[in-house]
Amino acid sequence: MNFSVYIPTDIEFGCGSLSRLHEKKLPGKKALIVMTNGRSAKRLGYLDRLVKELELAGAEHVLYDRVLQNPTKDNVMEGADLARSEGCDMIVALGGGSAIDAGKAIALMAANDGDYWDYVRTGSGKGLPIEHDPLPLVAITTTAGTGSEADAGAVITNVELNEKIGFGTPKSFPVLSIVDPELMVSVPKLYTVYQGFDVFFHVAECYISRIQSYAVDPLALDAIKRVTKYLPRAYEDGNDMEAREQMAWANTEAGLCLTFGSLTVEHAMEHALSGVYQDLVHGLGLLLIAPAYFSYCETKPELAERMADMAEAMGSPDPKAPGAFTAELKKLMDACGVGDLKMSDSGIRREDFPEVVRLSHNHKGYQNEFMPITDQDVMDILEASYR
């Protein structure tokens, strides 16, 4: 087996780690703080704490807090313009995957001319060479969701084109990531679940993808065990610090899996769905298609061993039995209050499925299926998911 492993990020993990930020060597003197337009990080005092840490470290700051839940190309260009006009020499992203992904893309565009879609390599992106390294990025994650603090990818939506595309370069890794489970305590119940399942699907997809790596396998199975055990607890009681800490690490493991491995068509389909329905929450989109997608995977003899490994990690009494993994998945979804979701409740319409299939080709997951997957297969998964 051949694979490469590269992770240049200094990951500071643990409760209270935000309060140690000033002790770290920061990669610049003036930060553009990137946040979403939500108010929670301000209301909960996280922004004030970050500003204090920057001041203790002797760094200035400017705030860009207009990133949308699904960050847009316009967010990226606006943030990059601000970073340039203010003379910022580093980006500090505070928030979940939306803020961190936007931070990565802003870091790139603050250092390079043109339009972000000039550099994006899939969809209608031009894939031009990147002339200058991005500004250095510090990522402070407040959710256990995307694993964005431990990978180089950023998912950005081009609203005009309905394209939601993941893109990054080896220079797009954060130089420093703060993973402080205390910052995750206030994530509302439903978002805890959506984000937790995003973690779960990241590692499950990496485990069954065509891009195999010894580096992925132990991390993926370990994260599956953690999510299965601790996500229902974090759902039941958001103040369960052990559950929050375990989910925080599962999330970082998932980020590492994304770095060492690759996602599959489940994520390609979800990005297409939330490209068409731009208010659809990513984790919810994944949950809507997951049972049908993994049932499809269970029909592939080539994946049988890996599906059984995952079922075993979830505690299946008979992991090699047909449908064992999806049975455990259903149990986990039920335990987290999302066992009975309907696409129609999210406004998804069957007549848009051909467009979803078309857009799913913009995501590399389409090529990373262990066995080749056809447009008809993807359509069948969508149809089987529809209620």
Stretch that binds Fe ion, among 64-72, 195-203, 236-244, 316-324 (CB under 5 A): 195-203
Shortest spacing between CB 146 and Fe ion, in angstroms = 6
Calculate helix-pair angle for 304-313, 189-208, nearest 10 degrees: 140
Shortest spacing between CB 200 and Fe ion, in angstroms = 10
**Complex with Fe ion: residue 15 or 68, whichever CB lies closer:** 68
Contact between 199 and 144 under an 8 Å Cβ cutoff? The reply is: yes
**Complex with Fe ion: residue 64 or 167, whichever CB lies closer:** 167
Stretch that binds Fe ion, among 29-37, 71-79, 197-205, 306-314 (CB under 5 A): 197-205
**Complex with Fe ion: residue 49 or 267, whichever CB lies closer:** 267
Q: What residues contact 96, with CB distance under 8 A and at least 6 apart?
A: 36, 141, 142, 143, 145, 146, 148, 195
Shortest spacing between CB 247 and Fe ion, in angstroms = 15
Residue nearest to Fe ion (CB): 198
Shortest spacing between CB 1 and Fe ion, in angstroms = 25
**Complex with Fe ion: residue 92 or 287, whichever CB lies closer:** 287
Choose which of 180, 182, 198, 205 interacts with Fe ion (CB under 5 A).
198
Shortest spacing between CB 54 and Fe ion, in angstroms = 29
Size of the site for Fe ion (CB under 5 A): 1
Shortest spacing between CB 101 and Fe ion, in angstroms = 10
Report the alpha-carbon distance of residue 283 to residue 70 in Å, rounded: 12
**Complex with Fe ion: residue 17 or 259, whichever CB lies closer:** 259
**Complex with Fe ion: residue 198 or 312, whichever CB lies closer:** 198
**Complex with Fe ion: residue 50 or 257, whichever CB lies closer:** 257
**x-marked contacts with Fe ion along 154-193 as a string, rule CB under 5 A:** ----------------------------------------
Shortest spacing between CB 21 and Fe ion, in angstroms = 26
**Complex with Fe ion: residue 21 or 289, whichever CB lies closer:** 289
**Complex with Fe ion: residue 64 or 277, whichever CB lies closer:** 277
**Binders in 113-142 for Fe ion, by CB under 5 A:** none
Q: What is each CA distance from 133 to 6, 211, 258, in whole angstroms? A: 17, 27, 22
Stretch that binds Fe ion, among 3-11, 198-206, 345-353, 359-367 (CB under 5 A): 198-206
Shortest spacing between CB 147 and Fe ion, in angstroms = 8
Q: Which two tokens stand for residue 315?
A: 């505690």
Does 101 participate in binding Fe ion (rule CB under 5 A)? no
Binding site for Fe ion (CB under 5 A): 198
